Structure 1
Amino acid sequence: MESFYIDPKDIKNGVVEIKGEEFHHLARVSRKRVGELIYLFDGGGKIYTAKIVNITREKAKCEIIAEEFMKGEIDVDIAVAQAILKNPERFEFAIEKLTELGTKYIIPLITERVIPAKSLEDISRNKIERWKKIILSACKQSNRALIPKLCEPVDFKSFVTEFTEYDRKVIFHESDEFKRILLYNYLERMKGVNSILVATGPEGGFTSEEIKLAVNSGFDVISLGERRLRSETASIIGVGVLIQFFIASKRNG
């Protein structure tokens, strides 16, 4: 079933009306009809199974049949600091897939090698709003009830000093200049953690100075193997492995 976003305040006596963009998607794009079942989610963790009972020119009325909380969410909070990429489509692809996988916080990261050179002032509110729409769309695609928080863009030095409240902090890096731990071997350290912060660099990776700063701030340097991966590939593969580990750990007790 397809998912549609609603404000929980719009649910009254087990009935909700879908209007605006969500109605357009439901009626005009997906061409839903009276009697069909759909998912509704509030972005805070609740997902509802609903039946369409009426459709007019401007809205659809749905009856709530069942509700679940945090369906499919893992217990571990995973935050990903993804460096902003030269190609906007690659950055957008990264945040889309990180949302589908189950990341709970996404931090747009400005590093020394972000190309072209950007500052916090260069990132318009329109761009941030576009990223939010991509994240929302990814939640619909994956039937996810929880919308990840898109944090404000941050420069690297502020990032390593401000984002400290995590059980584990890791930074992906491919250079042999630093002692690295293969992600597969690092998973043993993940047992019992409640939160993890992951940092992925831009094209060209992090600088040596940035890695040193991260290590001094409690980050572990992690390798994803012998191949040189694109930034968005590293984020998706790394987070995917971590989430599969947490899922398996919970099922195996």
Structure 2
Amino acid sequence: MNRFFVSPNQINRDKNEITIVDEDVKHISKVLRLYNGDEIEVSDGMEYVYIAEISDINKNEVLATIISSEKITTESNINITLFQSIPKSTKMDYIVQKATELGVKNIVPIISERTIVQFSNDKDAEKKRERWEKIVQEAAKQSKRGIVPNVEEPITFKKSIQRVNDYDLNLLAYEKESNIGLKKVIEKYSGVESIVNIGVWIGPEGGFDDKEISLLENIKVETITLGPRILRTETAGAALISALMYSLGDLGGTE
């Protein structure tokens, strides 16, 4: 069943009706070719997901009658923010897509010393962010997320490190770290229950430079190894996020 996201004000509980607008209207009618009577899933992006039956499709909106609702159960209690130094080409598209599928709540594109991609102005940066936002929304639909992760506007490395204190744990995947792994870092804390908000730091092609690594280490960002093999920037984030989710009980079932 296809999933869509709406804002809470598009759900009218008195009329038992949901209104879908904007690009999803065309997607429902022209791409998916859904009709009156077809059922869809609709998330309010906050608390509930609804099963609804399409009752009317027109040029500007799709109306659906609520059949049932339940609490969102697909979201992790772990709040991961990915601080990703922007790689070249379309690699960032892949990164935001996979981060969304794995359960990340927030994505912060950063411009570090070795970032090749440069924005000519704020409008250029916003255009890129909007592209990533669309990819994230589609990935959230496909993976049955309860929310659509937030994609922030690109910021400088210097601004990004001011955010470190927002997290219970900050992790840096570093190719020159050979001994300390994720398991050892987690064991340093009083228990996984104390780790809720996590910042994950991934460098661009070539990694962060030595000065940036030093700055991160000085503000107590934990540097860890991802194993004996060197991972690409578009692989490192997904690998670390997967390991984190598993270590903290979000992947792998209950037994």
TM over 0.5: yes
Aligned twin of 2:138: 137
1:183 maps to amino acid: L
50-59 or 66-75: which moved more? 50-59
1:134-163 CA distances to partner (integer Å, 9 max, x unpaired)?
111111111112111222322112211233
Aligned twin of 1:202: 204
Q: 1:155 and 1:248, CA in 2 relative to 1: closer, same or farther beyond 3 A?
A: closer
1:1-253 matches, cutoff 5 A: 1-12=1-12, 13-87=15-89, 89-116=90-117, 121=122, 123-176=124-177, 180-188=179-187, 189=189, 191-192=192-193, 193-247=195-249
2:63 maps to amino acid: K
233-242 or 119-128: which moved more? 119-128
Q: 1:148 and 1:180, CA in 2 relative to 1: closer, same or farther beyond 3 A?
A: farther
Q: 1:75 and 1:223, CA in 2 relative to 1: closer, same or farther beyond 3 A?
A: same
CA drift at 1:164: 1.4
CA distance in 2, matches of 1:18, 1:121: 30
CA distance in 2, matches of 1:44, 1:25: 23
SS of 1:31's partner is coil
The answer to whether the 8 Å contact 1:110/1:118 transfers is no
The answer to whether the 8 Å contact 2:185/2:222 transfers is no
CA distance in 2, matches of 1:91, 1:112: 17
Question: With structure 1 as the length reference, what TM-score do the two structures score?
Answer: 0.89
CA distance in 2, matches of 1:117, 1:250: 39
CA distance in 2, matches of 1:240, 1:15: 37
CA distance in 2, matches of 1:116, 1:18: 36
CA drift at 1:248: 5.0
1:107-149 CA distances to partner (integer Å, 9 max, x unpaired)?
1011111114568758522111111111111111111121112
Q: 1:123 and 1:187, CA in 2 relative to 1: closer, same or farther beyond 3 A?
A: farther
Q: 1:119 and 1:222, CA in 2 relative to 1: closer, same or farther beyond 3 A?
A: farther
Q: 1:195 and 1:162, CA in 2 relative to 1: closer, same or farther beyond 3 A?
A: closer
Q: 1:212 and 1:151, CA in 2 relative to 1: closer, same or farther beyond 3 A?
A: same
SS of 1:99's partner is helix
Between Structure 1 and Structure 2, how many residues are aligned?
Answer: 250
SS of 1:47's partner is strand
Structural RMSD (CA): 2.4
Segments of 5+ residues of structure 2 without an aligned counterpart are none
CA distance in 2, matches of 1:60, 1:246: 40
Seq. identity, % = 33
SS of 2:176's partner is coil
CA drift at 1:101: 1.0
Q: 1:206 and 1:80, CA in 2 relative to 1: closer, same or farther beyond 3 A?
A: same
Q: 1:249 and 1:186, CA in 2 relative to 1: closer, same or farther beyond 3 A?
A: farther
Segments of 5+ residues of structure 1 without an aligned counterpart are none
